Chains A and B, each alone.
Chain A
């Protein structure tokens, strides 16, 4: 449980962090550290440098611009838990424990893209957008473009997630999670959002190798019976929950989330 040796740099600004990142491709950005540090202690990751961006003021806070809420990447789970951001406040409450929620950040969690993390389902269902910055400029990607696979996102080397954009209001939203009793990560976490235009978006996290949209539920709409939403062959399985059981849990959690969201 001792990390390899690394250097630590506390970034003074986003541009400072990006410059550091550009100069050392082996460096990692440090946010709340609740995923990265344990990984380093187990020596599954051994970056030669950490660039701490966790307390940069420009990356923190929640503000509304028109019909969009803009969340700084270093906003903590705890801040979201006590915010009025649709769905994300409910999701944040289910992450870890108070200590984790006080340190962990939404940007860190999304960039890490743990297949069992809670936010990705909500981000997909909310149709959120992700603002990404590098030393050469900024770009915005959709949630669908952002999550690409297990621990894999649209972030390229030298890039940094800086903002999350979500709709300021929705008609209804809910997240239902069947948590692993040990890790309390999602074995199946389903987010359902009825958007202001009446469209329905739904996504699941935890069951597969990355968060994914529940297209069958979306096409069936609010009257969906939530049966057979996903195929077990698309899911993961382990000694706690087989793919077949996860597929069943997706239906059960979707049914509960839909009932609350509609």
Chain B
């Protein structure tokens, strides 16, 4: 038998180059005659640009150009459009360089190109912009208030869209006869993405062929090619090559089309020289699209048997100053459709108002809408359990969709293809010793030790997405994926995929699957991604789509290779193709193992075509475009345990058990890594990360001195388990795991914190659970000391 790689904890093949500094990131690329860009960014959240005086900057030796918004408009450069449309969407013009007005701190008003980065920075400081300050607004609900400052004239009342899903009347009817109802008001705070590699773009225009190459930190180079080429700059797609080499983390923030990419392309042609820009971390804080930022009122009701009846959700989604690429989709179709979770609701209604504010744009951030939905749903489920005086896990168990009820049509559009929720919960409870820990918790409370146990029995929809479906919902892109499997004459295999790896380990996991399919060693397979000139086409990596969609395309292209190989083998072995089997790394005549051809034999003959079937094309490569039939629906149970220091309000995560069902696992090491990172990120939101804009729209938490990223000592050793429920509709049965940790952990930890604070009468606090907030909640419940 040849070695099987599917399911093996193979060490990541990309790691040696990353940990020895041999990665090739955009900023590592140095081109002959290269120049450097520095951006002049608005220090104000809302202001009119009266004039720009660049004379002092231009006078500095080494400065090559200062570009303004008017230069780009005059050259016919269009604003950056959103990639998803909703009915009656008010689209603000997002210029790469703002010509007239700025609407958030960090908005670009000019770009300096110089011989060195240092000169460019010096010159940027010399560009004199005359601003006329306007009143600003930073919070979604404030933006909707009467008399709030107007961010864009075309969006009266700052409303970008109003959107709803579900049956409002049916919800009202359920509430009318409900046994019990609860309401929660939640703020899902804004997050800054903070990929470890800041964004970077390097444009190289070649006058000879009127061709552009853009090296850029992207999760989806083909999307950039379409947006830049067709919509923004009018460059024919075949004259524009986008390369996203090694990329150091994205979490969604590198999906989007950013202004700097337009600016360096434009400048490169203007100067006929390569132009590079790399963000400083300070720039990342005010220019990378941010995440979350919802204000929500949710209500639910149950009947006398504690069966859930209806859920009503009203959300204000703060979109920031501009609609970035997927901004309209995240708080709508990736949010409202997830409100059903793992439960059997009779009715659901979700209404979302998207608002403009004078803040950085908000878009997909790891989980993208699904963490926001999970937070609402899992918080209100635990709150209802608290009000009913029942165990939050047993309350959920009672309301789960049962395994024999799939496919299950939810009241919010999605049809779940598969699921089996109780085994995951049982496993998690056993791993934690749930009952034992509840007893310890009760005992500890008597001695001033306050621990809390929180649960989230999450479900997510990923593997984006059936193209016709998302097209009908407003997507301006397809969501299929393509693969090209190319076998060389020596039997070495190059797999070109439209998926993009920026930390996911595709070079390993994908190679494992291809090695199995072709029954060849893993080291004979190399995975190529991130270059529009080399790949057929693709839509990139986000929404946990690479395994279910990108890898399905690879698997099906590999099938085509095997089909063709069998035809060649049949010819060489003088057998019928129906009698050829692919076993032990060979194509052999069934039952006659000595009559066989190796993969090498077949590859060589396909290229030589000396002794070859007359009706078969030479060569051995196959392309497959795979469009999924449905989303995939990973689920699981996460249990978080926290301890609160009642003296200071400090919360420490002390245990974390997660049982995820992502279908069959290709590489347990990579899955575990994704869960670790995801849970850490979700914990960051629950306990640490706080994006604070003041009333003037200034980001006051815009550095690592203030913005708390998770660190090792905030985490615990995760206790990880799995159940396996394959997806019925893709060839490998795989689902996604890249976002599950983030989607579930925030809610589980939030529920744990509120559970820990239950003795103090606390029923809700908004995240992040920073020490002062917790201390104040505890203090408010204590009788005031006589001498205070």
A2 lies within 8 A of B117 (CB): yes
Task: Check if A182 is an interface residue, CB within 8 A of chain B.
Answer: yes
Chain B 46-70 interface mask (CB, 8 Å, partner A; 1/0): 0000000000000000000000000
Distance of A239 Cα from B709 Cα, bound (Å): 16
Say yes or no: A252-B709 contact (C-beta < 8 A), given A42-B282, A43-B125. Answer: no
CB-contact partner of A241 in B118, B700, B707, B772, under 8 A: B772
B648 lies within 8 A of A239 (CB): no
Say yes or no: A239-B700 contact (C-beta < 8 A), given A245-B772, A252-B647. Answer: yes
Distance of A4 Cα from B770 Cα, bound (Å): 37
B122 lies within 8 A of A4 (CB): yes
Task: Check if B132 is an interface residue, CB within 8 A of chain A.
Answer: no
Please give, as numbers and ranges, the residues of chain A lying within 8 Å of B122 by CB-CB distance.
2, 4-5
Task: Check if B688 is an interface residue, CB within 8 A of chain A.
Answer: yes
Distance of A32 Cα from B709 Cα, bound (Å): 25
B770 lies within 8 A of A240 (CB): yes
B708 lies within 8 A of A182 (CB): yes
Task: Check if A249 is an interface residue, CB within 8 A of chain B.
Answer: yes
A236, chain B: closest CB distance, angstroms: 13
B648 lies within 8 A of A249 (CB): yes
B686, chain A: closest CB distance, angstroms: 13
Task: Check if B704 is an interface residue, CB within 8 A of chain A.
Answer: yes
Task: Check if B705 is an interface residue, CB within 8 A of chain A.
Answer: yes
Chain A 1-26 interface mask (CB, 8 Å, partner B; 1/0): 11011000000000000000000000
Task: Check if B706 is an interface residue, CB within 8 A of chain A.
Answer: yes
A155, chain B: closest CB distance, angstroms: 24
Please give, as numbers and ranges, the residues of chain B lying within 8 Å of A245 by CB-CB distance.
771-772, 775-776
Distance of A89 Cα from B571 Cα, bound (Å): 80
Identify the closest chain A residue to B711 (Cβ).
Answer: A181
B-contacting residues, A212-241, CB 8 Å = 227, 238-241
Task: Check if B690 is an interface residue, CB within 8 A of chain A.
Answer: yes
A202, chain B: closest CB distance, angstroms: 19
Chain B 691-711 interface mask (CB, 8 Å, partner A; 1/0): 010000000110011111100
Distance of A227 Cα from B786 Cα, bound (Å): 13
Task: Check if B281 is an interface residue, CB within 8 A of chain A.
Answer: yes
Distance of A178 Cα from B647 Cα, bound (Å): 12
Say yes or no: A2-B121 contact (C-beta < 8 A), given A240-B706, A240-B770, A248-B775. Answer: yes
B775, chain A: closest CB distance, angstroms: 6
A-contacting residues, B629-669, CB 8 Å = 647-648, 650
B120, chain A: closest CB distance, angstroms: 8
Say yes or no: A181-B118 contact (C-beta < 8 A), given A1-B280, A1-B282, A245-B772. Answer: no
Distance of A219 Cα from B771 Cα, bound (Å): 30
Please give, as numbers and ranges, the residues of chain A lying within 8 Å of B787 by CB-CB distance.
227
A239 lies within 8 A of B692 (CB): yes
B706 lies within 8 A of A183 (CB): yes
Identify the closest chain B residue to A240 (Cβ).
Answer: B770
Please give, as numbers and ranges, the residues of chain A lying within 8 Å of B772 by CB-CB distance.
240-242, 245
Please give, as numbers and ranges, the residues of chain B lying within 8 Å of A178 by CB-CB distance.
648, 650, 771
Please give, as numbers and ranges, the residues of chain B lying within 8 Å of A2 by CB-CB distance.
117-118, 121-122
Identify the closest chain A residue to B649 (Cβ).
Answer: A245
Chain B 263-281 interface mask (CB, 8 Å, partner A; 1/0): 0000000000000000011
Say yes or no: A239-B690 contact (C-beta < 8 A), given A182-B708, A183-B706. Answer: yes
Please give, as numbers and ranges, the residues of chain A lying within 8 Å of B705 by CB-CB distance.
180, 182-183, 185
Distance of A58 Cα from B69 Cα, bound (Å): 56
Distance of A2 Cα from B279 Cα, bound (Å): 12
Please give, as numbers and ranges, the residues of chain B lying within 8 Å of A181 by CB-CB distance.
688, 708, 714, 770
Please give, as numbers and ranges, the residues of chain A lying within 8 Å of B714 by CB-CB distance.
181
Distance of A116 Cα from B770 Cα, bound (Å): 19
Please tell me the size bucket of the interface on B.
Answer: 20 to 34
Distance of A112 Cα from B631 Cα, bound (Å): 57
Identify the closest chain A residue to B124 (Cβ).
Answer: A2
Chain B 743-780 interface mask (CB, 8 Å, partner A; 1/0): 00000000000000000000000000011100110000
Distance of A43 Cα from B709 Cα, bound (Å): 24
Identify the closest chain B residue to A182 (Cβ).
Answer: B708
B-contacting residues, A170-222, CB 8 Å = 178, 180-183, 185
Say yes or no: A182-B117 contact (C-beta < 8 A), given A239-B701, A240-B772, A252-B648. Answer: no
Say yes or no: A183-B704 contact (C-beta < 8 A), given A245-B775, A252-B647. Answer: yes
A1 lies within 8 A of B688 (CB): no
B775 lies within 8 A of A182 (CB): no
Chain B 390-427 interface mask (CB, 8 Å, partner A; 1/0): 00000000000000000000000000000000000000
Distance of A252 Cα from B714 Cα, bound (Å): 21
Output the residue of A2, A43, A238, A248 with the most chain B CB within 10 A. A2
Distance of A239 Cα from B776 Cα, bound (Å): 14
Please give, as numbers and ranges, the residues of chain A lying within 8 Å of B647 by CB-CB distance.
252
A-contacting residues, B714-731, CB 8 Å = 714
B281 lies within 8 A of A1 (CB): yes
Please give, as numbers and ranges, the residues of chain B lying within 8 Å of A252 by CB-CB distance.
647-648
Please give, as numbers and ranges, the residues of chain A lying within 8 Å of B690 by CB-CB distance.
239-240
Output the residue of B117, B125, B714, B771 with the most chain A CB within 10 A. B771
Please give, as numbers and ranges, the residues of chain A lying within 8 Å of B771 by CB-CB distance.
178, 241, 245
CB-contact partner of A182 in B125, B280, B704, under 8 A: B704
Output the residue of B688, B714, B770 with the most chain A CB within 10 A. B770
Output the residue of A1, A5, A238, A249 with the most chain B CB within 10 A. A1
Distance of A224 Cα from B775 Cα, bound (Å): 23
Please give, as numbers and ranges, the residues of chain A lying within 8 Å of B117 by CB-CB distance.
2
Distance of A181 Cα from B709 Cα, bound (Å): 8
B-contacting residues, A39-78, CB 8 Å = 42-43
Identify the closest chain A residue to B645 (Cβ).
Answer: A252
Identify the closest chain A residue to B125 (Cβ).
Answer: A43
B327, chain A: closest CB distance, angstroms: 26
A182 lies within 8 A of B282 (CB): no
Please give, as numbers and ranges, the residues of chain A lying within 8 Å of B701 by CB-CB distance.
239
Distance of A241 Cα from B648 Cα, bound (Å): 11
Identify the closest chain B residue to A246 (Cβ).
Answer: B772
A182 lies within 8 A of B709 (CB): yes
A123, chain B: closest CB distance, angstroms: 23
Distance of A182 Cα from B775 Cα, bound (Å): 19
Distance of A2 Cα from B125 Cα, bound (Å): 11
Chain A 150-162 interface mask (CB, 8 Å, partner B; 1/0): 0000000000000
B190, chain A: closest CB distance, angstroms: 13
Distance of A26 Cα from B447 Cα, bound (Å): 60
Please give, as numbers and ranges, the residues of chain B lying within 8 Å of A5 by CB-CB distance.
118, 122
Please give, as numbers and ranges, the residues of chain B lying within 8 Å of A227 by CB-CB distance.
787
A68, chain B: closest CB distance, angstroms: 36
Please give, as numbers and ranges, the residues of chain A lying within 8 Å of B708 by CB-CB distance.
180-182
A4, chain B: closest CB distance, angstroms: 7
Distance of A119 Cα from B705 Cα, bound (Å): 19
Identify the closest chain A residue to B689 (Cβ).
Answer: A182
Identify the closest chain B residue to A4 (Cβ).
Answer: B122
Identify the closest chain B residue to A245 (Cβ).
Answer: B772
Distance of A42 Cα from B705 Cα, bound (Å): 13
B367, chain A: closest CB distance, angstroms: 22
Please give, as numbers and ranges, the residues of chain B lying within 8 Å of A240 by CB-CB distance.
690, 706, 770, 772
Identify the closest chain A residue to B775 (Cβ).
Answer: A245
Please give, as numbers and ranges, the residues of chain A lying within 8 Å of B281 by CB-CB distance.
1
B198, chain A: closest CB distance, angstroms: 10
Distance of A240 Cα from B650 Cα, bound (Å): 12
A182 lies within 8 A of B706 (CB): yes
Distance of A43 Cα from B124 Cα, bound (Å): 12
Shortest Cβ-Cβ A-B pairs, 6 listed: A182-B708, A1-B280, A2-B121, A183-B705, A245-B772, A181-B708
| Besides the known contacts A238-B700, A239-B700, 20 further A-B residue pairs in the complex with CB atoms under 8 A apart | A1-B280, A1-B281, A1-B282, A2-B117, A2-B121, A43-B125, A178-B648, A178-B771, A180-B708, A181-B770, A182-B704, A183-B705, A183-B706, A185-B705, A227-B787, A239-B690, A240-B706, A245-B772, A245-B776, A252-B648
15 contacts between A and B (CB under 8 A): A1-B281, A2-B117, A2-B121, A4-B122, A42-B282, A178-B650, A180-B705, A181-B708, A182-B688, A182-B707, A182-B708, A238-B700, A245-B772, A248-B775, A252-B648
